[in-house]
Amino acid sequence: MIKDWVLEDLTVDQKLEPMMKPPITKVQLAQYAGASGDFNPLHLDDGFAQKIGMDGVIAHGMLIMGFLGEYVMKVAGKKARVANFKMRFGKMTVPGDEIRCSGVVRRTYEEDGKRWIALDLTAEKVSGEVVGSGSAILQRT
Partner 1 sequence: MDLDKSVIGLTSDEYVFEVESRHVGQFATAIGDDNPLYTDDGYAKESAYEGLIVPPTFPIAMNDGKVKMPLQLDHRRMLHGEQEFLYYKPIRIGDQLRCQIKVRDLYDKEGKSGKMQFLKLDTEMKDEAGELVCISRMNIVYRAAKN
Which of 16, 57, 65, 123 is close enough to bind partner 1 by CB under 8 A? 65
3-state secondary structure 33-63: HHHHCCCCHHHCCHHHHHHCCCCCCCCCHHH
Q: Which residues face 116 on adjacent strands?
A: 109, 139
Secondary structure letter of residue 56 according to DSSP: S
Does 131 engage in binding with partner 1 (CB under 8 A)?
no
Kindly tell me which residue out of 49, 57, 63, 105 binds partner 1, with binding defined by CB under 8 A: 63
Only segment of 8-16, 65-73, 108-116, 120-128 that touches partner 1 (CB under 8 A):
65-73
Which listed residue (8, 12, 20, 36) binds partner 1 by CB under 8 A?
Answer: 36
With CA atoms as reference, report the closest residue to 102 among 75, 83, 141: 75
Residues at the contact surface with partner 1, assessed by CB under 8 A: 21-22, 28, 31-32, 34-37, 61-63, 65-67, 69-70, 72-74, 76-89, 139-141
